[in-house]
């Protein structure tokens, strides 16, 4: 089971999850219809570029000679590093309007991992795959990276309250990623990694004062129907909100759990 069993609150939390799940399922359908064909073209382009050029940051022969399990571990570590910086880019003014859809879930569960705008889905695939291809990783290692990090992503989106204790400074916990989704401008720009919390430690974006906050979502996107969320990147105001999110990446973080009204995104 990916979900964490709620023991309090009656049926209210389950109703909220059901409402949010409907939006997520609509986004999944949009990705199948729109993003999947585009990703096929992007994959072909990356393969063609790799075949036509000899430009590699790492000689592919290095990975061919290494044990496969070592290659997979290196691919996951490299993929998580690339994903960290790609995720930070998604919180920049340019890419935030598409990424905001992922943050719109008020009742975050494992299914939230599938709530992505098609634009966000395509840019994620293109950046991550191109970077690992440039590092010379073989196709099977790139696929393994995607599988491992995607499935771990399901886990960190559950509402499990665990912080992992001292290991929470090494591995991303559900609580740590929950803070990344907090509807609190004081903690915008934190916890961008998927598997290894060490990247957030290294680059000053780590924030884990305790279990995830109750208030989640992005005002102006959260609570709107799926079609409105698909159209959100077309709104000029969405890019102004992205600029505010980027500014908060460099703001001092706080452990104060008191609620703060989210910065508006409309």
Is residue 138 in some structural domain?
yes
Is residue 64 in some structural domain?
yes
57-106 pLDDT, tens digit each: 788 888 888 999 999 999 999 999 999 999 999 998 889 999 999 999 88
Q: What percent of the chain has pLDDT over 70?
A: 82
What stretch of H or E contains 126?
helix 118-134
Is residue 148 in some structural domain?
yes
23-43 pLDDT, tens digit each: 899 999 999 999 999 999 998
What is the C-alpha separation between 263 and 266, in angstroms, rounded? Answer: 9
Is residue 255 in some structural domain?
no
User: Mean per-residue pLDDT for 188-192?
Assistant: 90
DSSP assignment string, 68-87: HHHHHHHHHHHHHHHHHHHH
89-100 pLDDT, tens digit each: 999 888 999 999
Is residue 2 in some structural domain?
no
What is the C-alpha separation between 92 and 230, in angstroms, rounded? Answer: 19
Task: Provide the number of structural domains found in the chain.
Answer: 1
Is residue 24 in some structural domain?
yes
Structural domain including 78 reads 12-159+214-244
């Amino acid at each position: 089971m990916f979900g964490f069993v709620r023991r309090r609150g009656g049926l209210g939390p389950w109703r909220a999850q059901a409402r949010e799940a409907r939006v997520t399922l609509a986004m999944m359908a949009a990705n199948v219809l729109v993003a999947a064909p585009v990703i096929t073209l992007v994959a072909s382009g990356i393969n063609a570029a790799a075949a036509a050029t000899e430009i590699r940051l790492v000689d592919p022969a290095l990975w061919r000679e290494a044990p496969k399990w070592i290659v997979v571990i290196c691919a996951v570590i490299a993929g998580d590093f690339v994903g960290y910086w790609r995720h930070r880019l998604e919180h920049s003014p340019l890419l935030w309007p598409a990424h905001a859809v992922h943050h719109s879930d008020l009742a975050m569960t494992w299914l939230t991992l599938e709530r992505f705008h098609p634009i966000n889905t395509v840019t994620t695939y293109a950046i991550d795959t191109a970077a690992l291809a440039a590092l010379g990783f073989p196709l099977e290692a790139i696929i393994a990276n995607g599988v491992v990090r995607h499935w771990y992503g399901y886990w960190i989106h559950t509402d499990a309250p665990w912080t992992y204790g001292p290991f929470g400074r090494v591995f991303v916990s559900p609580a740590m990623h929950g803070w990344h989704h907090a509807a609190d401008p004081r903690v915008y720009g934190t916890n961008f990694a998927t598997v290894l919390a060490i990247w957030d430690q290294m680059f000053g974006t780590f924030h884990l004062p305790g279990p995830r906050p109750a208030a989640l979502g992005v005002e102006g996107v959260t609570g709107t129907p799926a079609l409105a969320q698909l159209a959100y990147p077309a709104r000029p105001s969405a890019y102004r909100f992205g600029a505010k999110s980027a500014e908060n990446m460099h703001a001092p973080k706080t452990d104060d759990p008191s609620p703060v009204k989210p910065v508006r995104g409309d």
